[in-house]
Structure 1
Amino acid sequence: MYLADQTWPELSDYVAEESLALVPLGSTEQHGPHLPLSTDHTIAEGLARETADRTGYLCTPTVNVGVSPHHKQFHGTMWVDPPEFRDYVESFSRNLAYHGIDRIVFVNAHGGNQTHLREVGRRLREDEVAYAVEWMWDESITDLVDDLFAVNGPHGGPKETAMMMHLDPENVRTDELEAARDGGASDWPLDDAFVHGARNFYDAIDNTDNGVLGDQTDATPEKGRKLFEAASDQLAQLAEWLDDRRFEDLMAKPHVEPRPGSRR
Structure 2
Amino acid sequence: MSAEIISHFVERLTWDEVARRIAAGRPAILPIGAAAKQHGFHLPLNTDRLQAEWFAAHLAERIDALVWPTVTYGHYPAFVEYAGSASLSAATFKAMVNEIAAGILDSGISTLFVLNTGVSTLAPVERALAGFEPAKVRHLRLYQGPRFRRTAEQISEQRHGSHADELETSLMLALAPELVDPERAEASPALQHEVPGRLTPSDRNSPNYSRSGSYGDPTLATSAKGAALLAAILDDLNEQVTAALGENDRPQPRGTPR
Q: How would you bin the TM-score normalised by the shorter chain?
A: 0.7 to 0.9
Aligned-residue identity in percent: 25
1:43 maps to which of 39, 48, 51: 51
CA drift at 1:8: 2.3
Work out whether residues 19 and 100 of structure 1, in 8 Å CA contact, stay in contact via their aligned partners in 2: no
Once the two structures are overlaid, the 10-residue window that deviates more, 157-166 or 228-237, is 228-237
Once the two structures are overlaid, the 10-residue window that deviates more, 90-99 or 51-60, is 51-60
- Cα distance in structure 1, aligned partners of 2:245 and 2:25: 8
1:193 lines up with 2:200 in the alignment: no
The aligned amino acid for 2:155 is L
Q: Report SS of the residue matched to 1:138.
A: coil
Q: How does 1:168-247 map to 2 (within 5 A)?
A: 168-177=176-185, 180-181=186-187, 184-185=188-189, 187=190, 190=191, 192-193=192-193, 202-205=197-200, 206-210=207-211, 211-244=213-246
- Cα distance in structure 1, aligned partners of 2:171 and 2:209: 21
- Cα distance in structure 2, aligned partners of 1:55 and 1:223: 26
- Cα distance in structure 2, aligned partners of 1:71 and 1:117: 19
2:172 corresponds to which residue? 164
Q: How does 1:108-187 map to 2 (within 5 A)?
A: 108-125=116-133, 131-140=136-145, 141-151=148-158, 153-177=161-185, 180-181=186-187, 184-185=188-189, 187=190
Please identify which structure carries the higher helix content: 1
The aligned amino acid for 2:168 is E
- Cα distance in structure 1, aligned partners of 2:120 and 2:59: 23
Q: Report SS of the residue matched to 2:132.
A: helix
Q: Report SS of the residue matched to 1:123.
A: coil
Work out whether residues 43 and 179 of structure 2, in 8 Å CA contact, stay in contact via their aligned partners in 1: yes
The alignment covers a number of residue pairs equal to 229
Work out whether residues 26 and 64 of structure 2, in 8 Å CA contact, stay in contact via their aligned partners in 1: no
Work out whether residues 36 and 171 of structure 1, in 8 Å CA contact, stay in contact via their aligned partners in 2: yes
- Cα distance in structure 1, aligned partners of 2:238 and 2:10: 17
Give the aligned CA root-mean-square deviation in angstroms: 2.1
Q: Give ranges in structure 1 of 5+ residues lacking alignment.
A: 246-264
CA drift at 1:230: 2.2
Work out whether residues 42 and 181 of structure 2, in 8 Å CA contact, stay in contact via their aligned partners in 1: yes
- Cα distance in structure 2, aligned partners of 1:231 and 1:29: 22
1:68 corresponds to which residue? 76
Work out whether residues 66 and 113 of structure 1, in 8 Å CA contact, stay in contact via their aligned partners in 2: yes
Q: Give ranges in structure 2 of 5+ residues lacking alignment.
A: 1-7, 201-206, 248-258
Work out whether residues 55 and 236 of structure 1, in 8 Å CA contact, stay in contact via their aligned partners in 2: no
1:6 corresponds to which residue? 13
The aligned amino acid for 1:208 is Y
1:18 lines up with 2:25 in the alignment: yes
Structure showing greater Rg: 1
Work out whether residues 11 and 69 of structure 2, in 8 Å CA contact, stay in contact via their aligned partners in 1: yes
| Closer, same or farther: CA 208–106 of 1 in aligned 2, 3 Å | farther
The aligned amino acid for 2:136 is Y
Instruction: Summarize deviations over 1:204-223 as a string: whole Å, max 9, x none.
Output: 23423222222212211122
CA drift at 1:16: 2.1
Q: Report SS of the residue matched to 1:234.
A: helix
CA drift at 1:162: 0.9
1:103 lines up with 2:111 in the alignment: yes
Work out whether residues 161 and 216 of structure 1, in 8 Å CA contact, stay in contact via their aligned partners in 2: yes
The aligned amino acid for 2:9 is Y
Instruction: Summarize deviations over 1:139-191 as a string: whole Å, max 9, x none.
Output: 111001111112251111111101111222222111012xx11xx13x4xx4x
Once the two structures are overlaid, the 10-residue window that deviates more, 53-62 or 9-18, is 9-18
TM-score, normalising length: structure 1: 0.79
Once the two structures are overlaid, the 10-residue window that deviates more, 133-142 or 66-75, is 133-142
